[in-house]
Amino acid sequence: MTEFSLSPAQEDDVRRADATGGRIAAFVRIRQLTGASLTEAISIAQALLPASSTPKRALDVDLEVLVVGGLVPSVIQHLPYSPERYLNIPCGTPIIANLASTLSDDDVLAWIRVLHVDPWDFNTHCVDLSRLDLDDEHHPWVVDEYPPLEALRAFRDAGFTLHVYPRAPSQSSP
């Protein structure tokens, strides 16, 4: 990760943005001041701003994480239905499955860090799983096997693509 530093005046500016507009405003301000990615801005904010000022829904976004690809036996255990549902489905049949629907900021942060997506940059919403480092079991953002790296590896190895669909928490699932 690139090192970013803020001057004391810029740190105060970020704190004001957080106090008046919430954590998302602080993330935006950090990105404006430094050119940091969203993931980098979140890390900077976590180091700079007190955790107690984080509202319950600071990001105000949920993510639907979808996988798309041809059915193969190695991914069946990671699909949403019981394996019996796939018995009569020929290998290679195109399928779309919801891998996750996030419900908390911690979940959203974990997904965007593992997938390197920015919920507000639509250019990042289609993820080539073969370009991600999913083999490091010690990613600091993976807690209790979440996001499910084993499932992501299986979909990667089967040639699936992954799509991230951000939505406001008040919206119902598509």
How far apart (Å, rounded) are the C-alpha atoms in residues 104 and 59? 9
| Residue 84's pLDDT band (cuts 50, 70, 90) | very high
Do the beta carbons of residue 23 and residue 9 sit within 8 Å?
Answer: no
Listed ranges 41-45, 131-135, 155-159; the one with the highest mean pLDDT = 155-159
What is the average per-residue pLDDT within 27-52? 85
The pLDDT > 70 percentage for the chain reads 82
Do the beta carbons of residue 70 and residue 94 sit within 8 Å?
Answer: yes
Query: Exposure pattern of 24-37 as b/e (b: 16+ CB <10 Å)?
Result: bbbbbbbbebbebb
Task: Report the predicted TM-score, pTM, of the whole model to 2 decimal places.
Answer: 0.61
How far apart (Å, rounded) are the C-alpha atoms in residues 160 and 95? 10
106-122 pLDDT, tens per residue? 777 777 777 888 877 88
